[in-house]
A = this chain, B = another copy of it.
Amino acid sequence: MTTKRTNPDFLNGVPELLILSLLTRRPMYGYELVQAIRRSTDGTLEFGEGCIYPILHRLEADKLLRASRETVGGRSRVVYGVTSRGEKRLAGSAAGWRKIAAAVEQTLQGGEHGEAALA
């Protein structure tokens, strides 16, 4: 396996969705988010800082997140909170995810639209 897979299956857009979801419940800073995602998914999902930070910057630029600097014990933290725009985005994004997830699951179970349950 010399191939480095940089675009793992099923994860496109997932970091952004989780970030918005987690920050809605509680403002957090980047480093904290990385671990919050891991905990929240019981270790199933792990995104590096190189993935999280660019997204935070982008979401802030799009005014979906609001950043505020805090200094705790001499350590500077950038805490992010979700704006009202961000909440709308989250709602739409979560709905999109669920729609796709349902469609995929339906296909996996062999739902061919006209083929009613056989059991």
| Interface residue ranges, A against B (CB under 8 Å) | 7-14, 16-18, 21-22, 25, 37, 39-42, 44-45, 93-94, 96-108, 110-113
Q: Are B104 and A17 in contact (CB under 8 A)?
A: yes
Per the bound structure, the CA–CA distance linking A104 and B17 in Å amounts to: 9
Q: Are B113 and A104 in contact (CB under 8 A)?
A: no
Count of chain copies: 2
| Inter-chain contacts of A44 with B (CB < 8 A) | 99-100, 102-103
Per the bound structure, the CA–CA distance linking A93 and B108 in Å amounts to: 11
| Inter-chain contacts of A10 with B (CB < 8 A) | 10, 12-14, 96-97, 100-101
Q: Are A103 and B9 in contact (CB under 8 A)?
A: no
Find A40's partner among B14, B16, B99, B112 (CB 8 Å cutoff). Answer: B112
Q: Are B41 and A106 in contact (CB under 8 A)?
A: yes
Per the bound structure, the CA–CA distance linking A19 and B8 in Å amounts to: 17
Per the bound structure, the CA–CA distance linking A96 and B108 in Å amounts to: 12
Find A101's partner among B8, B25, B105 (CB 8 Å cutoff). Answer: B105
Decide yes or no: A21 and B108 within 8 Å by CB, A9-B93, A11-B12, A12-B11 being known contacts: yes
